[in-house]
Amino acid sequence: MKTVHRHSLVVAALAVVVSAGNALAQESASALLNNLELRELVTRAAPADHARLGVHFAALAEQYAAEAMRHMSMSQSFAGNPSRNLGIGMSAHCKRLAELNTESATTVRELAAFHEKLSNGMPASLPRHAEKFLGGAGARKPTQKDLTALAAKASTPADHRALAEYFETLARRYELEAREHAAFAAAIRGLRIEQAATLHSHLATLARTAAKEASEAAEMHKQFATVGR
């Protein structure tokens, strides 16, 4: 009975730890900006924007630190894998990933401190290697909800620049899809699956048309960004 009771306590304790870990991860994720919001705040750069950027980069640093711990743990586990060739190679890869994650966490923490100083009107120097994170590395991709909200309120140059970037990225994706479908259609013609080739050709046409629409939408937002309407 005592053994069962002790086991129940251990299970309950583990459940609390896991639950706390999940809650922390969710809290960290909720603090992250999406890449459109990030660009908008970086461009606008008001004190409140710097404060929000500080929160974003602090949360991102936590994520990189967690990834470093995970990859170091995996490195140690792979080292004990029965397959020596797999174990040595994967252990080295995971260790290197952990080192890179740690370096990213350090840079992003410095960025958080940089924006916190700016939010309080203090002088600050941009950390080395910060450009990629200011450009959106690590930020969330905008969700449908994010994009819908931005479309409804878009009025400032920063809003329009953010939407222009979204549509430009979308256009590039559609252009790539068009090339892939066209190449696939060309490759399978003559293989007695002409219908499939025709469908891929049609998909290529649709993707090219979608790319054109997205490019025109991006251009419209660029024009609005110059007048701030």
Please provide the DSSP assignment of 112-173 as one string: HHHHHHHHTT----PPTT-HHHHTTTTPBPPPHHHHHHHHHH--SHHHHHHHHHHHHHHHHH
Q: What is the pLDDT of residue 190?
A: 74
Per-domain residue ranges of the chain = 32-139, 142-229
| Residue that has been written with the tokens 């600050």 in this structure | 124
pTM across the whole model: 0.70
Using the Cα atoms of residue 166, residue 168, residue 174 and residue 176 in order, give the sign of their dihedral: negative
Tokens of 182: 């066209």
Q: Quote the pLDDT of residue 28.
A: 57
* Contact call for residues 124 and 118 (beta carbons, < 8 A): yes
Tell me the two tokens of residue 21. 């870990």
* pLDDT block averages, 10 residues each, the chain of length 229: 43 41 53 88 90 94 95 92 87 93 94 94 89 88 90 87 89 93 86 81 91 91 79
Q: In the prediction, which pLDDT does 175 show? A: 94
The residue with tokens 């007695």 is 192
